[in-house]
A and B are shown apart, each in its own frame.
Chain A
Amino acid sequence: MSRDVKGTYRAQSNREEDVKGTYKAQSAAAGATSAAGSETHGGRGRRGPTTRMVPVPSQSIVPERDADKSPILECRHLGIDFGGLRAVDDFNLMIGRTEIAGLIGPNGAGKTTVFNLLTKVYAPTRGTILLDGVDTAGMDTPKVSQAGIARTFQNIRLFDSLTVEDNVRIGLHNQIQCGMWSGMLRLPRHWVSEKEFHDKSLELLDVFGMAGNADDIAGSLPYGAQRRLEIVRALATNPKLLLLDEPAAGMNPSETAELMDNIVRIRDMFNIAVLLIEHDMDLVMGICEGIAVLNFGKIIAKGTPAEIQSNPQVIEAYLGKQD
């Protein structure tokens, strides 16, 4: 491989043109700063830009139907260190606009850490996250939510003491505006927005057939219903990408089957992408279109369910090496 980096760019498909553009702009900016830096040293012997050029991955896969659109999520060389531990390293992933993607791996591989990086619970040490082409650098968790990433949690995190409807209303917080004074003084805006909140939350709850539970206290719901409510609350934020952290944990096979139908249904209904972490292989292989396998913080394989199932590295990560 003696081809230079530019060559690699050119070899990429049309869809990657945008990406190339942004990259060029970035390096131009970097060049400008380094040029400005050298100018202070004065003299005609201007050094050229010292920007470090790095190779970019080009083997990303997305569903064919999404290939003509820009990807909803793109992670480039994403990584985070906890002290000396490289929890996630060189994480590259591209998710299509309506893809249901899976992130699997043995316990402690760093899957939830990836979710926490995407939602900025942790600030990445390295790398870039592009959400719908927009760099999320500098955003905090609420901003990322407004930008279009919603998530559920491995250990359910509902607003336990509030009602089911209030949980969804809180999810709708940024979708319907009403200032503090309107609420405090009961101005007309308050009543209009409350009506909107009520109608919209019941509509969303109805997607999972939970409208009848609207007045129940969220913490008192059975386990499966709490998991569903978390998804409804995430959907209420009007996301472009939904992250599900072990949605089927603790569910029996029939509940899992129902959940699989539901995930596909929400994707079609809301036209969003889904990235899920799951240990239940029936679910992963059943609905995920693209799967990434993580082990010790690094992606060891990417591909379709069939490719992943026969990948020797994946089998080794899960079952160990055969001597």
Chain B
Amino acid sequence: MSKLKNLSATTRSNLITYAMVIVLFVVMQSLAATKAISSSTAGLLVPITAYISLAISLNLVVGISGELSLGHAGFMSMGAFTGVIVASMLAEAIPVGWVRLLVSMIVGGMFAGLAGFVVGVPVMRLHGDYLAIVTLAFGEIIKNLLNNLYAGFDASGLHLSMTNAQALGMDGGKIVINGPQGAVGITKLSNFTMGFLLVLFTLFVVLNLVNSRTGRAIMAVRDNRIAAESVGINTTKYRLIAFVVSAALAGMAGALYAQNFSSIVPKKFDFNTSILILVFVVLGGMGNIRGGIIAAIVLTILPEKLRFIGDFRMLMYAIVLIAVMLVTNNRTIQSKIADLRERLRRRGDDQAALAVDAEGGVADE
């Protein structure tokens, strides 16, 4: 414990985040193994890991770089569809499921990163609301392109078309993406362990990036662009780095997400999904990676757990959302909570042994 205290505050906070993710994984994995959770909840495990990765990666743009991006689902779908194509093409070359998934995630991430770069170069000339609107438009463009995309492969290789399935001119083979019907006949490769590994990888990349020379430059641009330029930081470059890394990670999460289902439609990656990911980030606190993880978990499980109230489900969901936003952003309530914590701590000093246990959970903050 004393060794822990010697570490810098950020290192300690990062270690807590890693520990939290690992503990959650072990708990959920053992619960799933012993069938202690319902099958509907177990089915949510992979989407939750994908959403956590998406929340962490979007946090890099929204929280760390300070730009509002409304097109995260676009990068996610880019990775998802590339990943599905790659995985089905490699079905014979790589028989081992998890290796194929890994390769498809990496290629999906690369394509999404490339898309991020192509969009980012012109978009990074914009700031604030303008940037948000352009990223929103980008998400819609990607969705509509994918809605008209037909892809299949046969002995002669990959065929792509924007007209219809016949135009592919396939000689036997297999159609992977069938226009508005989306990706069909996906082999289900994703599992909770791979999802967990992706979350760890995303955390590793983002936390390392934030606590490095590059990350400091990104945060400098967020805090004060004029001052950052005055100390010689190329602001466009560092905003672009954050944007591209975030897009690539979103692509990887997309590839994982898509291969959890037997088919997936482009419509799934619409504006609502972008907003959902943004809600995770904002609810968890911008720049607060741990908060984003918790928000992604709670907000994915909540609608399922609220099924018992039937039609009022989404209403309750909205009310919970509003309540949490208000509470976490209200100075009066914040100071009340801080007061309470302080009082708890003082009492903890008085009745040493007993109180330490009770407070343990709160003290982590």
A308 to B208, CA, bound (A): 55
- B62 nearest CB across to chain A (Å): 14
Q: Is B230 a contact partner of A145 (Cβ separation < 8 A)?
A: yes
Q: Is A173 a contact partner of B231 (Cβ separation < 8 A)?
A: yes
As a 0/1 sequence over residues 172 to 184 of chain A, the CB contacts with chain B under 8 angstroms (1 = contact) are 0110101110111
Q: Is B231 a contact partner of A237 (Cβ separation < 8 A)?
A: yes
Chain A residue nearest in CB terms to B224? A157
Chain A residue nearest in CB terms to B287? A161
Among A158, A173, A237, the most chain B Cβ lie within 10 Å of the Cβ of: A173
Which of these binds chain B: A162-170, A274-282, A289-297?
A: A162-170
Chain B residue nearest in CB terms to A186? B208
- A181 nearest CB across to chain B (Å): 9
Contact for B213 among A142, A157, A159, A193, CB less than 8 A: A193
Q: Is A180 a contact partner of B214 (Cβ separation < 8 A)?
A: yes
Residues of A within 8 A of B (CB-CB), count: 41
- A34 nearest CB across to chain B (Å): 36
Q: Is B209 a contact partner of A183 (Cβ separation < 8 A)?
A: yes
Chain A residue nearest in CB terms to B209? A184
Q: Is A173 a contact partner of B217 (Cβ separation < 8 A)?
A: yes
Contact for A162 among B9, B213, B216, B241, CB less than 8 A: B216
Among B228, B232, B234, B245, the most chain A Cβ lie within 10 Å of the Cβ of: B232
Flag whether B335 is at the interface (Cβ < 8 A): no
Among B220, B223, B231, the most chain A Cβ lie within 10 Å of the Cβ of: B231
Q: Dominant SS at the B interface? A: helix
Flag whether B26 is at the interface (Cβ < 8 A): no
- B146 nearest CB across to chain A (Å): 29
Q: Is B232 a contact partner of A237 (Cβ separation < 8 A)?
A: yes
Chain A residue nearest in CB terms to B213? A178
Flag whether A146 is at the interface (Cβ < 8 A): yes
Question: Which residues 120-151 in A have Cβ within 8 Å of B in the complex?
Answer: 121, 140-143, 145-146, 150-151
Q: Is A170 a contact partner of B241 (Cβ separation < 8 A)?
A: no
B108: chain A residues at CB < 8 Å are none
B212: chain A residues at CB < 8 Å are 178, 180, 182-184, 190, 194
Assuming the contacts A162-B216, A184-B205, A184-B209, asked whether A174 and B227 have C-beta atoms less than 8 A apart, the reply is no
Flag whether B22 is at the interface (Cβ < 8 A): no
Chain A residue nearest in CB terms to B8? A215
Flag whether B229 is at the interface (Cβ < 8 A): yes
Contact for A173 among B208, B216, B245, CB less than 8 A: B216
A121: chain B residues at CB < 8 Å are 226, 229
Contact for A170 among B9, B216, B235, B245, CB less than 8 A: B216
Q: Is A142 a contact partner of B220 (Cβ separation < 8 A)?
A: no
A145 to B208, CA, bound (A): 27
Flag whether B84 is at the interface (Cβ < 8 A): no
Q: Is B216 a contact partner of A233 (Cβ separation < 8 A)?
A: no
- A154 nearest CB across to chain B (Å): 12
A173 to B238, CA, bound (A): 12
Assuming the contacts A170-B216, A215-B9, asked whether A141 and B209 have C-beta atoms less than 8 A apart, the reply is no
Q: Is A159 a contact partner of B209 (Cβ separation < 8 A)?
A: no
Q: Is A145 a contact partner of B224 (Cβ separation < 8 A)?
A: no
B216: chain A residues at CB < 8 Å are 162, 166, 169-170, 173
Q: Is A145 a contact partner of B231 (Cβ separation < 8 A)?
A: yes
A197: chain B residues at CB < 8 Å are 213
Assuming the contacts A159-B224, A178-B212, asked whether A170 and B230 have C-beta atoms less than 8 A apart, the reply is no
Q: Is B209 a contact partner of A160 (Cβ separation < 8 A)?
A: no
B52: chain A residues at CB < 8 Å are none
A140: chain B residues at CB < 8 Å are 229
A111 to B9, CA, bound (A): 42
Among A119, A176, A184, A190, the most chain B Cβ lie within 10 Å of the Cβ of: A184
B9: chain A residues at CB < 8 Å are 215
Flag whether A185 is at the interface (Cβ < 8 A): yes
Flag whether A171 is at the interface (Cβ < 8 A): yes
A140 to B191, CA, bound (A): 50
Chain A residue nearest in CB terms to B245? A184
Assuming the contacts A159-B224, A162-B220, A215-B9, asked whether A151 and B213 have C-beta atoms less than 8 A apart, the reply is no
- B210 nearest CB across to chain A (Å): 9
As a 0/1 sequence over residues 107 to 125 of chain B, the CB contacts with chain A under 8 angstroms (1 = contact) are 0000000000000000000
- A236 nearest CB across to chain B (Å): 7
- A123 nearest CB across to chain B (Å): 14
Contact for A161 among B8, B214, B217, B223, CB less than 8 A: B223
A185 to B212, CA, bound (A): 10
Flag whether A314 is at the interface (Cβ < 8 A): no
Assuming the contacts A119-B230, A145-B229, asked whether A176 and B213 have C-beta atoms less than 8 A apart, the reply is yes
Q: Is B231 a contact partner of A170 (Cβ separation < 8 A)?
A: yes
A179 to B228, CA, bound (A): 18
As a 0/1 sequence over residues 226 to 262 of chain B, the CB contacts with chain A under 8 angstroms (1 = contact) are 1111111111000001000100000000000000000
Flag whether B215 is at the interface (Cβ < 8 A): yes
Q: Is B230 a contact partner of A151 (Cβ separation < 8 A)?
A: yes
Assuming the contacts A160-B224, A183-B214, asked whether A174 and B232 have C-beta atoms less than 8 A apart, the reply is yes
29 A-B pairs (CB sep. < 8 Å): A121-B229, A141-B230, A151-B230, A153-B226, A157-B226, A158-B223, A158-B224, A159-B219, A159-B224, A160-B223, A160-B224, A161-B219, A166-B216, A170-B217, A170-B220, A173-B213, A173-B217, A173-B220, A174-B231, A178-B212, A178-B214, A180-B209, A183-B211, A183-B215, A184-B214, A190-B212, A233-B231, A234-B231, A237-B231
Query: Which residues of chain A have a CB within 8 Å of any CB of chain B?
Result: 119, 121, 140-143, 145-146, 150-151, 153, 157-162, 166, 169-171, 173-174, 176, 178-180, 182-186, 190, 193-194, 197, 215, 233-234, 236-237
Query: Which residues of chain B have a CB within 8 Å of any CB of chain A?
Result: 8-9, 205, 208-209, 211-217, 219-220, 223-224, 226-235, 241, 245
Contacts A142-B233, A174-B232, A183-B215 given; 13 further ones with Cβ under 8 A?
A: A141-B229, A157-B224, A157-B230, A158-B223, A159-B220, A162-B223, A169-B216, A170-B228, A171-B231, A174-B231, A182-B212, A183-B211, A215-B8
- Sorted from nearest, which 3 A-B pairs have the closest CB atoms? A183-B212, A145-B232, A159-B223
